[in-house]
């Protein structure tokens, strides 16, 4: 439920869930990515620009994904904003990059802002992208307008109970097998993930989204996962002086039959505890929705982000 490739056992709040409500049988297709107005490469980042008027917004993808997961939001925002959708190295067919990937991403991101003269963008990230957005806001909050994290957190849920050494050991154990997966094995996992009580509510979206995800390089995904699971950004949360919005997906039926069910309010409270220390924190739940809430509740996700944009002008 939290982010691709994080097993339920990693979550302190019993994210080990059981299959529940029936999935819709109607066929569906993911929104298609609009034609970009421009594209470029800045270091390890592939940048698509949509629109050319209005305040800048930067979109960061989740693990194994690319700009395509933001297609609906791009269509809604690009008429009023200049939207930059980032492709990360190793994902969505992009070339791999030399680790450490978190540090390389940050360097290339600030270079992107300099090269393209992007002043104080709002950064929106999903999952891993939300974690990267939080890291950016800790490093240079004065260069950002604000941050939106859609189920992206400063630490993997459950890892806060471990020591730093234990997190690194767990990260190595989780990532090592993935780096050796074939494309077929990788696709099979993504199909299972998207169909289960983690990815999307609409089961007919599972197969096409898994195909998109399987365009990523397993070894690169493993390295991103290793750094994500082994990290802890909580000590720097107090440095985020700009507004930080955490969007929290929740689907009651997915957890109702688990050994330790929890309510929407409890999940929000748990996320709030993980983000404790951020001075201008706001959390908004989205229900019913799974990890890819932008597909489950596109209108609701847009409304939350639109309100945040208006509030941070």
Q: Structural domain boundaries of the chain?
A: 8-311
The predicted model gives 174-201 an average pLDDT of: 94
pLDDT band of 21, cuts 50, 70, 90: very low
15: tokens are 């994210």
pTM beyond 0.85: the answer is yes
pLDDT band of 251, cuts 50, 70, 90: very high
DSSP state of 259: S
pLDDT reading at 7 higher than 70 = no
* Helix, strand, coil percentages in the chain from 3-state DSSP, rounded to 5: 45, 15, 40
- C-alpha–C-alpha distance, residues 18 and 50, integer Å: 40
- Tell me the fold of 8-311: Rossmann fold (3.40.50)
Instruction: Answer whether 133's CB lies under 8 Å from 125's CB.
Output: yes
More confident position, 266 or 29: 266
| Residues 184/190/192/194 CA torsion (nearest 10 deg) | -150
């Amino acid at each position: 439920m939290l982010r691709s490739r994080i097993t339920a056992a990693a979550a302190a709040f019993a994210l080990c869930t059981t299959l529940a409500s029936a999935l819709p049988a109607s066929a569906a297709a993911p929104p298609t990515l609009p034609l970009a107005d421009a594209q470029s490469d800045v270091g390890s980042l592939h940048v698509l620009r949509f629109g050319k008027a209005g305040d800048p917004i930067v979109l960061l993808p989740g693990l194994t994904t690319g700009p395509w997961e933001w297609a609906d939001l791009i269509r809604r925002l690009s008429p009023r904003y200049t939207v930059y959708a980032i492709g990360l190295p190793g994902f969505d067919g992009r070339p791999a990059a030399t680790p450490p990937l978190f540090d390389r991403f940050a360097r290339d991101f600030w270079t992107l802002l300099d090269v393209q003269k992007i002043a104080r963008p709002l950064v929106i990230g999903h999952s891993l992208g939300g974690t990267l957005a939080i890291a950016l806001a800790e490093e240079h909050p004065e260069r950002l307008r604000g941050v939106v994290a859609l189920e992206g957190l400063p630490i993997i849920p459950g890892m806060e109970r471990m020591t730093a050494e234990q997190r690194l050991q767990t990260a190595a154990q989780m990532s090592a097998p993935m780096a050796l997966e074939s494309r077929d094995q990788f696709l099979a996992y993504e199909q299972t993930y998207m169909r289960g009580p983690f990815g999307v509510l609409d089961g007919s979206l599972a197969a096409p989204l898994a195909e998109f995800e399987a365009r990523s390089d397993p070894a690169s995904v493993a390295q991103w996962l290793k750094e994500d699971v082994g990290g802890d950004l909580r000590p720097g949360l107090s440095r985020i002086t700009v507004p930080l919005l955490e969007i929290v997906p929740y689907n009651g039926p997915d957890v109702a039959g688990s050994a330790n069910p929890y309510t929407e309010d409890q999940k929000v409270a748990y996320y709030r505890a993980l983000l404790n220390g951020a001075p201008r924190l706001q959390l908004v739940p989205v229900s019913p929705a799974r990890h890819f809430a932008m597909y489950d509740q596109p209108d609701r996700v847009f409304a939350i982000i639109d309100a945040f944009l208006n509030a941070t002008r």
